[in-house]
Homo-oligomer: A and B are copies of this chain.
Amino acid sequence: MLAREVLEELVRVLGRENVLTEQEDLLTYAYDATAAMKHHKPDVVVAPLSTEQVADVVKIALRYHVPIYTRGSGTNLSGGTIPVEGGMVLSMLHLNKILEVDQDNLTATVQPGVIIQALNDEAAKHGLLYPPDPGTVTTATMGGSVSECSGGLRGLKYGVTKHYIMGLQMVLANGEVTRWGGKTVKNVTGYDLVALFTGAEGTLGIITEIIVKLIPAPEARKSMLAVFDDVDKAGRAIAAIIRNKVIPATLEILDNVTIQTVENFVHAGLPMDAEAVLLCEVDGYKEVVQREAVLVERIMKEEGAVQLKIAKDDKERDLLWLARRSALPALAQKRPTTVLEDATVPRSKIPDMLKAIRRIATKYNLQIATFGHAGDGNLHPTIITDERDAEEMKRVHLAVDEIFETALALGGTLSGEHGIGIAKMKYLNREFGEAGVAALKRIKEALDPNYLLNPGKIVRRD
């Protein structure tokens, strides 16, 4: 419970309508999109209208030792916005303006509450594109996606969120308003705090303004579906495409379990008996798209694709991608709980990782569907389960442990795009060792010595 005077100070700064304390309001901020996580209600939810108000709120929080959890749409997948220690959720709801699209410098300046798709729609009016493309593009906010360094379907060719963040306005844990980076393509002034704040999950500062890089929108694209009767062959096809110097915009895989579930859900014409399908899109100038599509087609055949379907028009293309985008919702319908993991390995290890996931599913007698961004090594093994079944959940946790052990053993990482949050903190030592985790903690404590900002995430106080 917060002291009455804290609430009074917050109301004085923000107005009564932007300080929520009703139980039904607090309940909706007790969880995020991560499955099987304990809920934690905040004591208050505040929604500032300006950077200055954010700074004032931080100063109040600092004075009364109230934890702050900055929140966009709460679509994150590692528990990153759950208010585990109580305190204040700071909602970016009202800071939702696209401040500028600058065509000469190929940048946009946005507030953190802007939905990613809204930026894309605005950029498209100028023939420009903001490439990061997480599955939640129509609901997630820019602030959240910068804080989690979202990935998505275009990572292979275009990179991820961090490759597009040029400048940030940050309110630090001491309430100071600072600016980092800007609109210059090159910038080596001081340490790269723009990069450090990106992906820091709101634990090092609060983003109040973002300058992103835009690129000219590709003029053409072509999508195709390749069907394989063997996962290894699909893996070899991926490697062969890259070795032939083609970098598709998107190169996704769906395994058999996912194919069957998706097909029953959206009827996109996926072959129910395929062991794996690859979904590939090349984009760019129309001549390039033509050349690359022909080359990819030839490689898929050479590597043993039993069927190949090239989208003839936008309608066919959209249906293919609807199939891919439906993977998670389709799987989520099968049983009450969907544990969506984020195993990431070097691209060349995709066949090994797929085999390991099947072995782990058998070993723990679990249903695991796997789909994901094969071209960039980022797979989403998804355990279809029921969190009310304690015995099964025990096996789920053991399977997840083993998936991460395997990813690390293959030269991978704990998280490609979902973040550490609270879900993966316990594994951090395995990736970085004690010396590495100690270094992360020193960074945290340098910028937030009181663990005021999103406490209990990434690294924890001793």
Contact = CB atoms under 8 A, between A and B. Distances in A.
Interface of A: 102-107, 127, 148-149, 151, 155-156, 159-160, 162-163, 172, 174, 176-193, 195-196, 198-200, 204, 215-216, 239, 242-243, 245-247, 284-285, 287-288, 291, 344-348, 373, 376-378, 411-420, 424, 428, 431-433, 435-437, 439-440, 442-447, 458-459
A417 B199 contact: no
Question: How many copies of this chain does the complex contain?
Answer: 2
B192 A198 contact: yes
Given A190-B431, A216-B245, 14 more contacts: A103-B242, A155-B186, A159-B185, A163-B163, A178-B435, A183-B346, A184-B411, A185-B376, A185-B377, A186-B417, A190-B432, A191-B199, A284-B288, A442-B446
Given A104-B239, A436-B179, A376 B186 contact: yes
Nearest to A186: B416
B347 A185 contact: yes
Contact of A189 (B107, B243, B347, B420): B420
Contact of A187 (B189, B413, B439): B413
Given A191-B200, A195-B195, A443-B446, A182 B412 contact: yes
20 contacts: A105-B346, A105-B347, A127-B245, A148-B188, A149-B192, A155-B186, A159-B163, A176-B435, A179-B432, A182-B412, A186-B413, A188-B420, A189-B414, A190-B428, A190-B437, A191-B200, A288-B288, A442-B446, A443-B446, A445-B446
A112 to B, nearest CB: 18
Contacts of A443: 191, 193, 196, 443, 446-447
A185 B242 CA distance: 13
Contact of A151 (B149, B186, B191): B186
Contact of A439 (B185, B291, B447): B447
Contacts of A424: 189
Given A188-B417, A443-B446, A180 B436 contact: yes
Contacts of A431: 189-190
A186 B440 contact: no
A104 B442 contact: no
Contacts of A377: 105, 184-186
Contacts of A172: 435, 439
A443 B288 CA distance: 45
A186 B373 contact: yes
A188 B419 CA distance: 5
B162 A185 contact: no
Given A102-B348, A442-B447, A188 B416 contact: yes
A309 to B, nearest CB: 25
